[in-house]
DNA sequence: ACAGAGACTTGAGCCAATGTCG
DNA sequence: CGACATTGGCTCAAGTCTCTGT
């Protein structure tokens, strides 16, 4: 997985006279903290909208690669027009886009949405319908003096915006929490540090500090019911004996379990890594004990267990579909009650209600802990968070009990346990992405990114100015923010020794950035998930020089930004826009790019429109460096395609010959291997065949190009996390593309809040 | 200011289910 | 219909960022 990002071209950065950030013409309400963003929960899309998405749409648009040209500067705005016709490299394009004036979005004020009551019923027993209290929403960032929000519709108006049904529902249910509404301050949900449990990793108990005055917003729920979590079944010993020095060895079930974890990973990459094997041996030998026959890993032969495992796999695969179905139903039945929670009376789906099973830790990259035994979690390890008045779920493991029960309405987790691999870390159980909580915060995320539009000009002006600052820290911040903005780098927090050695912007080391004269930088480092970021970019010469000055006198392994960390950068950013942090730039630039690249597609077919959407999506994925590893089958598949291509070409050649002969009244020549004589053909019939073949040829060629092009690019991540779904929804509406062609079922579920946007919506 | 706890978002990979094609 | 390709859902690791106590 090498860097997929071929030379992106520079963003032109001319120092521009500063100006106050153009306050939007008030189309934004988010600065008005009296009018918190409100999450709109929509009724589910109508059933016919939920048909399974069509797959495998052939892409027909003419493909254009992001070309690696560089050095183009001073692109004039007029160039923007040609934009749709790609060959304009991404960054250059962004440059153009960024220069362009942001137009006020026509749909200025987000209307207060309705919260149609959801049906609720937890575990199938209750049946209460309540409306979510209007104020469960978080307060927005403090008002900025700059943006002058247009007066919103009067507040009463807002309230009346809800669909009748929602209003009715709320009335009918006399929710006790109506008054809980407006900013209830949580009085500390107190958790006296209990006197000493063995100072095992401490449990979370921090309270939020209500900040001066108006803050709060910290209460996330008033009532919360759920059934806890489900545990993996206990280990079933298989009794297959591994060999030591060629002789079968007796293992206890615990020892056998861990041996099996290892055995079944034989053909993974992990099994080839020294760290993995060493860590495994370290933990397993402890379990075996000093006096065990097995004294070393070398003589261990796990093959019998591995083979047993393959057999099991085979057995499962060969089950009849009835058996499979039955098993599935049984599983569903056992899990059903864990799948939902009741939040303020609303039934919501729980995300990860299954406790993680034991196994060997599969850290990514060169994680120092890979191969360690991840021990089984028992109920005593679990802390549940649940309403005070809610029944405490029965512990599903006989003879055990929950570790702790909390009633903390300031958080959204339903349960947590400590990560057995890194006990200071937590594993949480949260609601699913389709839930109100997640939807609300998702929407807030995009609104914050949109707000950045109003500030981005001034922010860019400022960092451009600070590139020449005499103050090193300011200069470093300027460069860092430049990189975060232009290259969409992550913030780059410091990491512990016992984690994989990866970096982001603030943690870049000297070795990761090379200067390529005259003004290019080559980045080569491992980022999140140890995915390589490899990219050469032409940058503003001031940035180039600044990097040179930061590198001066430092060693390979030293920090590039020695005066920075993410806190400093984020503190700085907050001074420029309320709530601004490094990650907002990724969201902003991703959404902004999508919005700009989704060009008008009038007059094209739906298939072509979808292809153009995917093209835009791809640009965003490249910007964010969302990669995937090339599938094992890729090469074979490409070969097959090129074979097909060759055949088609050959046939085309024959057809052309046929045509010439047909014109002379001669019959087609026999193809190699054919023996039947052929009849004379009409020239125009042959001509039609030729055209058909040519079309097929182009299609195959395009398919190949596309496939190869996308082999290392993952489109999904940006769709799920970075591109404002309202952009996609609006585009679909405007261009009459069924939304299901763009969002699959789970995305539609996750984005219910975005589905009713107007076709005119722009990011 | 700083370190660490805590909470929440983002991310790639896996695999069974589903779709497509010859 | 079977072989293969693609996808969707899930899993769990790995980030970001906030808040607290000192």
Q: Is residue A544 part of a domain?
A: yes
Whether residues A357 and A283 share a domain: the answer is yes
Q: Is residue A665 part of a domain?
A: no
Asked whether the predicted pLDDT for residue A94 surpasses 70, the reply is no
What percent of chain A is helix, strand and coil (3-state, nearest 5)? 40, 10, 55
Q: Between the CA of residue A676 and those of A64, A307, A656, A679, A683, what are the distances in Å?
A: 44, 54, 20, 10, 20
Please give the tally of structural domains in chain A: 2
Please report, rounded to a whole number, the percentage of residues in chain A having pLDDT higher than 90: 56
Does the CB of A272 sit below 7 A from strand B? no
Asked whether the predicted pLDDT for residue A182 surpasses 90, the reply is no
Neighbours of A556 (CB within 10 A): 8
Helix locations, A318-435, DSSP H: 321-335
Q: How far is the CA of A233 from the C1' of B16 (A)?
A: 20
Q: Is residue A566 part of a domain?
A: yes
Whether residues A252 and A385 share a domain: the answer is yes
Q: What is the pLDDT of residue A328?
A: 86
Q: What is the pLDDT of residue A699?
A: 81
Q: Which of A266-280, A309-323, A379-393 is predicted with the least confidence, judged by mean pLDDT?
A: A309-323
| CATH assignment at residue A484 | 3.90.15.10
Q: Is residue A276 part of a domain?
A: yes
Asked whether the predicted pLDDT for residue A193 surpasses 50, the reply is no
| Mean pLDDT computed over A59-88 | 30
Q: What is the pLDDT of residue A600?
A: 82
Q: What is the pLDDT of residue A660?
A: 86
Task: State which of A596, A628, A649 marks the end of a domain.
Answer: A596
Q: What is the pLDDT of residue A344?
A: 96
Q: Is residue A406 part of a domain?
A: yes
Cis peptide before A518 (omega within 30 of 0): yes
Task: State which of A378, A399, A429 marks the end of a domain.
Answer: A429
Asked whether the predicted pLDDT for residue A611 surpasses 50, the reply is yes
Asked whether the predicted pLDDT for residue A67 surpasses 60, the reply is no
**Structure-block tokens of residue A648:** 């088609």
Q: What is the pLDDT of residue A159?
A: 32
Strands A359-360, A300-301: parallel, antiparallel or unpaired by DSSP? unpaired
Whether residues A466 and A563 share a domain: the answer is yes
- Given a contact cutoff of 8 angstroms between Cβ atoms, the answer to whether A644 and A700 are in contact is yes
Average pLDDT in chain A = 77
Whether residues A399 and A472 share a domain: the answer is no
Q: What is the pLDDT of residue A452?
A: 98
Q: Is residue A275 part of a domain?
A: yes
Q: Is residue A577 part of a domain?
A: yes
Length of chain A: 763
Q: Where does the pLDDT of residue A620 fall: very low under 50, low under 70, confident under 90, or very high at 90 and above?
A: very high
Q: Where does the pLDDT of residue A203 fall: very low under 50, low under 70, confident under 90, or very high at 90 and above?
A: low
Asked whether the predicted pLDDT for residue A156 surpasses 90, the reply is no
Q: Where does the pLDDT of residue A103 fall: very low under 50, low under 70, confident under 90, or very high at 90 and above?
A: very low
Whether residues A394 and A357 share a domain: the answer is yes
Q: Is residue A518 part of a domain?
A: yes
Whether residues A445 and A320 share a domain: the answer is no
Name the protein residue, with chain letter, whose CA is nearest the C1' of C4.
A637
Name the protein residue, with chain letter, whose CA is nearest the C1' of C13.
A363
Domain containing residue A424: 213-218+224-343+352-429
Verify whether residue A338 is a known catalytic residue: no
Does the CB of A490 sit below 7 A from strand B? yes
Give the tens place of pLDDT for each residue, A326-346: 888 889 999 999 999 999 999
Q: Where does the pLDDT of residue A694 fall: very low under 50, low under 70, confident under 90, or very high at 90 and above?
A: confident
Give the span between the Cα atoms of A133 and A343, in whole angstroms: 11
More confident residue, A710 or A516: A516
Is the four-CA dihedral A652, A655, A659, A664 of positive or negative sign? positive
Give the tens place of pLDDT for each residue, A700-758: 888 888 888 889 999 999 999 999 999 999 999 999 999 999 999 999 999 999 999 99
Whether residues A469 and A538 share a domain: the answer is yes
Q: How far is the CA of A677 from the C1' of B22 (A)?
A: 26
| CATH assignment at residue A296 | 2.170.11.10
Q: Closest by alpha carbon to A506, among A438, A447, A448, A564? A: A564
List CB contacts of A471: < 8 A, sequence separation 6 or more: none
Does the CB of A356 sit below 7 A from strand C? yes
Give the span between the Cα atoms of A131 and A419, in whole angstroms: 36
More confident residue, A564 or A187: A564
Does the CB of A54 sit below 7 A from strand B? yes
């Amino acid at each position: 997985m090498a860097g997929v990002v071929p030379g992106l071209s520079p963003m032109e950065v001319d120092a521009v006279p500063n100006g106050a950030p153009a306050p939007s013409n008030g189309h934004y309400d988010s600065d008005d903290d009296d009018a918190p963003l409100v999450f709109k929960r929509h009724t589910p899309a109508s059933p016919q909208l939920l048909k399974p998405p069509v797959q495998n749409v052939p892409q027909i648009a003419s493909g254009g690669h992001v070309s690696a040209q560089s050095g183009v500067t001073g692109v004039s705005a007029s160039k923007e027009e040609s934009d749709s016709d790609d060959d304009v490299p991404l960054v250059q394009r962004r440059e153009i886009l960024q220069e362009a004036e942001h137009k006020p979005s026509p749909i200025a004020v987000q209307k207060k949405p309705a919260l149609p009551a959801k049906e609720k019923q937890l575990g199938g027993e209750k049946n209460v319908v309540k409306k979510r209290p209007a104020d469960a929403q978080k307060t927005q960032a403090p008002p900025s003096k700059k943006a002058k929000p247009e007066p919103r519709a009067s507040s009463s108006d807002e309230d009346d915006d809800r669909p009748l049904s929602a209003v009715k529902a709320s009335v009918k249910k006399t929710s006790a929490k109506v008054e809980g509404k407006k900013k209830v301050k949580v009085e500390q949900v107190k958790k006296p540090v209990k006197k000493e449990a063995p100072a095992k990793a401490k449990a979370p108990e921090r309270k939020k500090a209500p900040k001066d005055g108006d803050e709060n917003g910290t209460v996330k729920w008033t009532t919360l019911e759920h059934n806890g979590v489900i545990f993996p079944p206990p280990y079933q010993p298989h009794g297959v004996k591994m060999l030591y020095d060629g002789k079968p060895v007796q293992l206890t079930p615990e020892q056998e379990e861990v041996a099996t974890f290892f055995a079944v990973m034989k053909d993974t990459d992990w099994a080839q890594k020294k760290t993995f094997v060493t860590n495994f041996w370290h933990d397993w030998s402890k379990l075996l004990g000093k006096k065990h026959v097995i004294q070393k890993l070398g003589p261990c032969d796990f093959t019998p267990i591995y083979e047993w495992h393959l057999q099991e796999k085979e057995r499962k695969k060969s089950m009849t579909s009835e058996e499979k179905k039955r098993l599935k139903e049984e599983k569903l039945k056992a899990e059903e009650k864990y799948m939902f929670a009741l939040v303020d009376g609303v039934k919501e789906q729980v995300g990860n209600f299954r406790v993680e099973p034991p196994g060997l830790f599969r850290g990514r990259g060169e994680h120092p802990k890979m191969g360690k035994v991840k021990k089984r979690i028992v109920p005593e390890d679990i802390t549940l968070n649940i309403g005070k008045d809610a029944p405490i779920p029965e512990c599903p493991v006989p003879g055990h009990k929950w570790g702790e029960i909390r009633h903390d309405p300031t958080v959204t987790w339903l349960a947590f346990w400590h990560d057995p691999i890194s006990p200071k870390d937590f594993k949480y159980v949260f609601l699913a992405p389709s839930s109100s909580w997640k939807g609300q915060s998702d929407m807030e995320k995009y609104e914050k990114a949109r707000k950045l539009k109003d500030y981005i000009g001034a922010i860019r002006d400022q960092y451009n100015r600070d590139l020449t600052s005499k103050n090193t820290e300011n200069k470093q911040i300027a460069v860092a923010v430049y990189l975060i903005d232009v290259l969409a780098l992550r913030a780059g927090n410091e990491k512990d020794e016992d984690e994989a050695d990866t970096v982001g912007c603030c943690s870049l080391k000297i070795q990761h950035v090379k200067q390529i004269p005259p003004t290019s930088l080559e980045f080569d480092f491992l980022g999140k998930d140890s995915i390589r970021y490899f990219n050469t970019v032409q940058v503003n010469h001031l940035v180039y020089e600044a990097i040179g000055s930061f590198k001066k006198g430092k060693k390979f392994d030293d920090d590039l930004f020695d005066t920075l960390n993410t806190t400093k950068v984020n503190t700085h950013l907050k001074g420029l826009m309320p709530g601004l942090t490094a990650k907002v730039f990724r969201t902003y630039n991703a959404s902004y790019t999508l919005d700009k690249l989704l060009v008008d597609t009038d007059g094209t077919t739906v298939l072509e429109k979808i292809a153009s959407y995917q093209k835009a999506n791809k640009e965003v994925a490249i910007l964010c460096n969302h990669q995937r590893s090339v599938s094992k089958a890729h090469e074979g598949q490409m070969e097959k395609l090129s074979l097909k291509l060759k055949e088609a070409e050959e046939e085309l050649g024959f057809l052309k010959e046929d045509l010439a002969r047909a014109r002379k009244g001669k019959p087609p020549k026999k193809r190699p291997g054919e023996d039947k004589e052929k009849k004379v053909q009409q020239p125009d019939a042959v001509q039609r065949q030729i055209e058909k073949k040519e079309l097929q040829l182009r299609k195959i060629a395009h398919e190949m190009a596309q496939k190869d092009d996308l082999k290392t690019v993952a489109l999904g991540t940006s769709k799920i996390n970075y591109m404002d779904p309202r952009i996609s929804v609006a585009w679909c509406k405007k261009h009459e593309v069924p939304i299901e062609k763009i969002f699959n079922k789970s995305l539609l579920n996750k984005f219910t809040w975005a589905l009713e946007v107007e076709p005119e919506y722009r990011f």
